[in-house]
Amino acid sequence: MIVDGRELPADSEHSFELCIVGAGAAGIAMACELAGTSVRVGVLESGGFQLDAETQSLAEGSNTGFPYYDLDTSRLRMFGGTTNVWGGICRPFDSRDFRERSWVARSGWPVDRPELEPYYRRAHEICGLGPWTYAPSRWSSPSAEPFEFTTDRLESIVFQRQPTRFGETYRDILDKAENIRVMLHSNLVELIGDPPDRGLEGVRAVTMGGKQFTVRAQAYVLACGALENARILLASGRRRRTAIGNENDLVGRFFMEHLNALGGVFVPTDRVAASFYSEREVNGTRVFGALRPDIDSQRRDRALNSCAYLVPASLEEGVKGVAPGLVSSVVAAQSNNLLDDLGDHVRNVASDIDDLAAYSYRRFFDPPSERGAFYLSFHLEHAPNPSSRVKLTGETDALGIPRIELHWKFGEIERRTLRSSLRTIGRELGASGLGRVKAVSDRPDTGWPPGLRGAWHQMGTTRMADSPGRGVVNANCRVHSVPNLFVAGSSVFPTCGYANSTLTLVALSLRLADHLSEFVRK
């Protein structure tokens, strides 16, 4: 059932076995997983079915680090959360993302990829994606084949894309589920329980009109996104000596974003077809390919994980291409004249050299050769960095909750990753006779290529770790210091790979739903 919190009696109490705060991708996935079970679930959602400015203004905050989006526009407080506007690009994290890498400080998840496998499969269905396979061969065709590389240094990978609107898609299921009660327009303002290590006793919610009510449950899940999860925990410190979960000063730290940078230009030699890397439909599933350096290259260069999309360099095609959000970056790149005169000459030289090569590479005589160029749009992992963080400010929102300040910070390892990745791609495309690559010059003021930006993937502020000294939540996503408080969503990611976060956060949420259905029975 879905109800309007504004219509609940003032100062009323509502009891459930499980209380989920937030009805975005994580919260809705959990609620759907538990729909029709014996677990009684209450879901608090700040917004309604439509975006309203007053509620959205609660998300306002300030940026003090590397330039970032206005915080009140980078996520949505409404039923369905940011899936109301997302692009739907999905891919599971690589196995390497879960492992400890000696060259990446604080890397390694307490959960490994095989353990997540069944949840990834289920998450795939919930996200409305196609078959659970990312093998390039499964998504190739005679007119769209992955490049053949000379070495194993570079790999073709596949993304699927289906922008499922969780709110629209799962509204009916949740409305009809007898064991689920979604309360819209209900903003969490307080975690009740002191001391917290004996468990939360309830949460207090308030509507924008000031009506308050209390929800009590055996277990509570914060599923409000990486910024808001940290904010709620940090704000709990107003009435306590230490904010809940923040005994080791970790809440809000390790904020991560995928770095999106047009780091280079790829000019294919004659007769090289790159259709595999453009968005296309295969048996009803939207897919596109990308390039990823292998783990040995990353280890050698002490680089993070990364991939590069091939975005057609003509603005019109770029807009229609795999990443519509790249328009501003493409414009910035074009104004920097990346495809300069030398580029055409390089292409001609490369075509002459590669055309008669004594080694084999893909040649396509029909359809006619593609003489376009592609921007290499890099998606870089962001290293866990304690200085990249969310903090509370002295300002409060309309409900009296402190606003946040985001200090987004990254540095040398990310820069090294971009250079390493670009060079690996350039070397392999050259070695395979496929074309040549140009590195884009960094802007003197930022030290990064023009157009560097976040991908609207906010992660890591309540990171998962086996010990409380290294993370806020444990492997079951439970806040270390609180026996019945859990966190769902990408805020628990210890590291973030390069792949878009939604599929993995949904998989983790489904795993948490499994865990909690056992937990509340006990």
Partner 1 sequence: MKPTRSLPRRTFLGSLISVGTFGALAPHEFLHFFVASERPAERRDDRDAVLYLLRTVFSRIESARTVGAEYLRQIGRGSTVIESVHAEIIDRLSDSRPDGEVAGYLKLRVREDYVENRIVQLDGWLLSETEAACCALLHLIEDRET
| All residues at 6 or more sequence positions from 132 whose CB lies less than 8 Å from its CB, including other chains | 120, 121, 124
Cβ atoms of 434 and 270 within 8 Å: the answer is no
Judged by CB under 8 A, which of 3, 51, 331, 431 binds partner 1? Answer: 431
Q: Name the one range near partner 1 by CB under 8 A: 49-57, 337-345, 379-387, 478-486.
A: 337-345
- Tell me the three state secondary structure of residue 258: coil
Per CB under 8 A, does 138 bind partner 1? no
- Nearest CB to partner 1, comparing residues 221 and 425: 425
Shortest distance in whole angstroms from residue 420 CB to partner 1? 12
Going residue by residue from 297 to 336, which x/- string records binding to partner 1, judged by CB under 8 A?
Answer: ----------------------------------------
Alpha carbons 104 and 106: distance in angstroms, whole number: 6
Judged by CB under 8 A, which of 32, 234, 350, 418 binds partner 1? Answer: 350
Per CB under 8 A, does 174 bind partner 1? no
Judged by CB under 8 A, which of 38, 349, 395, 469 binds partner 1? Answer: 349
Helices 166-176, 25-34: axis angle to 10 degrees equals 30
| All residues at 6 or more sequence positions from 473 whose CB lies less than 8 Å from its CB, including other chains | 245, 462, 463, 464, 465, 479, 480, 486, 487, 492
Cβ atoms of 259 and 452 within 8 Å: the answer is yes
Per CB under 8 A, does 85 bind partner 1? no
Per CB under 8 A, does 199 bind partner 1? no
- Nearest CB to partner 1, comparing residues 17 and 354: 354
Alpha carbons 395 and 405: distance in angstroms, whole number: 10
Shortest distance in whole angstroms from residue 425 CB to partner 1? 9
- Nearest CB to partner 1, comparing residues 177 and 267: 267
Shortest distance in whole angstroms from residue 440 CB to partner 1? 7
Per CB under 8 A, does 440 bind partner 1? yes
Per CB under 8 A, does 44 bind partner 1? no
Cβ atoms of 382 and 398 within 8 Å: the answer is no
Shortest distance in whole angstroms from residue 429 CB to partner 1? 8
- Nearest CB to partner 1, comparing residues 178 and 359: 359
Per CB under 8 A, does 423 bind partner 1? yes
Helices 25-34, 113-126: axis angle to 10 degrees equals 90
Per CB under 8 A, does 271 bind partner 1? no
Q: Name the one range near partner 1 by CB under 8 A: 91-99, 160-168, 191-199, 341-349.
A: 341-349
Judged by CB under 8 A, which of 353, 368, 400, 447 binds partner 1? Answer: 353
Backbone angles phi, psi at 506, to 5 degrees: -70, -40
Interior CA angle at 126 toward 120 and 130, to 5°?
Answer: 75
Binding-site size for partner 1 (CB under 8 A) equals 34
Alpha carbons 475 and 478: distance in angstroms, whole number: 7
Judged by CB under 8 A, which of 150, 214, 242, 369 binds partner 1? Answer: 150
- Nearest CB to partner 1, comparing residues 58 and 440: 440
Q: Name the one range near partner 1 by CB under 8 A: 5-13, 134-142, 326-334, 356-364.
A: 356-364
- For 437-464, b where at least 16 C-beta lie within 10 A, e where not — what string? bbbbebeeeeebbbbbbbbbbbbbbbbb
Alpha carbons 385 and 407: distance in angstroms, whole number: 11
Q: Name the one range near partner 1 by CB under 8 A: 2-10, 66-74, 116-124, 349-357.
A: 349-357
Judged by CB under 8 A, which of 231, 436, 453, 480 binds partner 1? Answer: 436
- Nearest CB to partner 1, comparing residues 327 and 353: 353
- Nearest CB to partner 1, comparing residues 321 and 433: 433
For the chain, first and last CA: distance in Å? 25
Give me 430's structure tokens: 């050259």
- Nearest CB to partner 1, comparing residues 245 and 435: 435
- Tell me the three state secondary structure of residue 7: helix
Judged by CB under 8 A, which of 433, 450, 451, 460 binds partner 1? Answer: 433
| All residues at 6 or more sequence positions from 110 whose CB lies less than 8 Å from its CB, including other chains | 464, 465, 466, 474, 475, 494
Q: Name the one range near partner 1 by CB under 8 A: 34-42, 302-310, 439-447, 456-464.
A: 439-447
Going residue by residue from 357 to 396, which x/- string records binding to partner 1, judged by CB under 8 A?
Answer: xxx-------------------------------------
Interior CA angle at 213 toward 212 and 214, to 5°?
Answer: 135
Give the strand pairing for 435-439 and 259-268.
antiparallel
Judged by CB under 8 A, which of 346, 392, 459, 487 binds partner 1? Answer: 346
| All residues at 6 or more sequence positions from 449 whose CB lies less than 8 Å from its CB, including other chains | 261, 262, 263, 418, 440, 441, 442, 443
Per CB under 8 A, does 10 bind partner 1? no
Give the strand pairing for 187-192 and 202-206.
antiparallel
The site for partner 1 (CB under 8 A) is made up of 150-151, 340-350, 352-354, 356-359, 422-423, 426-428, 430-431, 433, 436-441
